[in-house]
Amino acid sequence: MNTSYSSSRLYLFLKYALIALWSVFVIGPFLWALTTSFKSIGGVTGGATYIPWLQYQPSLEGWRNLFGGSSGIDIVDPYLDSLIVTVAASLISLVLGTLAAYGLSRFRYRVGFVKNSDLVFFFISQRIMPPIVLAIPFFLMLQWLGLLDTRLGLVLVYIVLLLPIAVWILVDFFNNIPRQIDEMAMLDGCTPMQAFIRVILPNALPGIIVAGMFCLVFGWNDFFFAFTLTFTNVQLLPTAIVSLNSSVTPWWSLSAASLVSVAPLILVAFLVERYLSRGTLAGAIR
């Protein structure tokens, strides 16, 4: 009895110790960035300090530089450009990816030796190519269309980049939804499209949310295409943050910018966390 009780207490201690260590590992960089964002050049170069007013004098210089301060940038326009481009590209990729993934999951296609699995691999293979390989073709295409250095041009490019991610995630998710659900819906009088909209989509909501989150993360964090395909009319957040750098790295401004840039993704993760469960299929088959 005592041995079992001791083992249980040891297990709980190890479990919570590992959770605490992992929490420090995850939260530590954010706390470091938060403290650094309120430091001046003296506070950064003076060594490691963490407690304001006791170890260093807080300063708002890093935050002022994000809103047109001296030697800074105005982050508002790049922030709006990033929101518009990323959300628009993610939504369009999610809609097209959901339809493509459902078709690849429920129907069989074969053209010569090419079949469904080959089509799925074709989609994800688009992410295998290094971005530099696509830079010149995208540049020339947007230049020919007159969409270089525009939001619409970036949206089109991002759809090409995000659509494979959505298809790859959702095909596997649709494969895990029993086909009996489709059959029962059509026995009740639904057309295939009605069964898809009324029955399959609600059950696939967790997978759609996961795919949407991946699209948002990849689109929001892209730097390469935002840097190579825009100049003056449009500037996304990653390129704006890089422009903060100079001969002396402004760690205080970069820390503030990193917190501002990651905030939307953290907010989205908190909002959709309760939907990230596969338990919605429970009881779906009667």
**For 179-200, what is each residue's pLDDT tens digit?**
888 888 888 888 878 888 888 8
Domain that holds residue 43: 2-64
Give the tens place of pLDDT for each residue, 36-80. 888 887 777 777 777 777 777 888 888 888 887 666 678 889 999
Does 217 lie in the same domain as 85?
A: yes
Structure tokens at 186: 């059509």
pLDDT at residue number 166? 92
Give CA 30 to chain center in angstroms. 18
Stretch among 100-109, 160-169, 215-224 having the lowest mean pLDDT: 100-109
Does 19 lie in the same domain as 44?
A: yes
Q: Could you tell me if residue 286 is inside a domain? A: no
Structure tokens at 134: 């696509």
Start-to-end Cα distance in the chain: 45
Residue 96 has pLDDT above 90, yes or no: yes
Does 146 lie in the same domain as 204?
A: yes
Overall pTM surpassing 0.75 (yes/no): yes
CB 232 within 8 A of CB 219: no
Residue 115: phi, psi to the nearest 5?
-130, -170
Does 91 lie in the same domain as 54?
A: no
Distance of alpha carbon 236 from alpha carbon 239, whole angstroms: 6
